[in-house]
Amino acid sequence: MCRNIKTLRPPVTPDADEDDFRAAALQYVRKVSGFRAPAAHNREAFDRAVEAVTEATAQLLAELEVRGAAARAAQPAG
């Protein structure tokens, strides 16, 4: 499910931002709901779900501790 959602966790995607979180959330909600674009009577619930998943994604990525990431970031490239 949702095979096209890319990994947003650093260092895999170090520059992921709110737009990336929202795009992933939109893909997820579309897949789970079965609606690419919901009907007017479902729009509010759909949009709330996208917002909730976007926020949860941002919170998750902010709280994850990636082992060795600090050491890799401190090493000079080359």
DSSP codes joined into one string, 52-69:
HHHHHHHHHHHH---TTH
CA 33, 38, 42, 45 torsion-angle sign:
positive
Amino acid at the residue 10: P
Closest by CA to 6, choosing from 57, 64, 62, 75, is 57
pTM of the shown model: 0.75
User: Measured between alpha carbons, how far is 7 from 20 in angstroms, rounded to an integer?
Assistant: 10
The per-residue pLDDT string of the chain (78 residues; one tens digit each, 9 = 90 and over) reads 456 677 776 666 678 888 989 999 999 999 999 999 999 999 999 999 999 999 999 999 899 888 876 545 544 555
